[in-house]
Amino acid sequence: MFSCFKKFKILVEKESDYSIKSLRTYREGEFCSNDFNEFCEDHGIKRLLMMLRSPQQNGVVERKNRIINMARNILETKKMPKKFWNEAIDCAIYLSNRCHIKSLNDITPQEA
């Protein structure tokens, strides 16, 4: 896995003209080896270590997963074919952009 990351790093940095500045990984496996830690330190990659099975620490990905799950539920609930996947995603994004999670102090989302 470590050799795959090295190849991935080279590929991404050549194609994008950007360098990898940080890496978020779980606290297990090859990503916690001394070789991997030294490699990241030598190349200036900041390590962000997360606990396994803790979606709270991976906010962006979890929000995207919720949209995909919402689209899947829309299709399954209405027994629609998968060819309407794009429309279901559009609907899920539309709905998630209009639903607020935080308290709005007794006002509607549109008033906010």
Quick count: other Cβ atoms within 10 Å of Cβ 88? 21
Query: pLDDT at residue 41 above 70?
Result: yes
For residue 30, give its domain range. Answer: 2-56
Out of 21-25, 57-61, 66-70, 87-91, the most confident range is 87-91
Strand blocks (E) in the chain:
22-26, 46-50
Residue 7 and residue 44 in one domain: yes
Q: What's the rounded Cα separation, in Å, for the pair 94 and 86?
A: 12
Residue 50 and residue 66 in one domain: no
Task: Count structural domains, the chain.
Answer: 2
Mean pLDDT score, 10-17: 91
Write the pLDDT tens digit of every residue in 17-31: 889 998 887 777 777
Residue 14 lies in a domain: yes
Residue 35 and residue 52 in one domain: yes
Residue 106 lies in a domain: no
Residue 52 and residue 94 in one domain: no
pTM of structure: 0.48
Residue 63 and residue 52 in one domain: no
Residue 110 lies in a domain: no
Residue 67 and residue 86 in one domain: yes
Residue 47 and residue 63 in one domain: no
Question: CA end-to-end span of the chain, whole Å?
Answer: 47
Q: How far is CA 50 from the centre of its chain?
A: 13
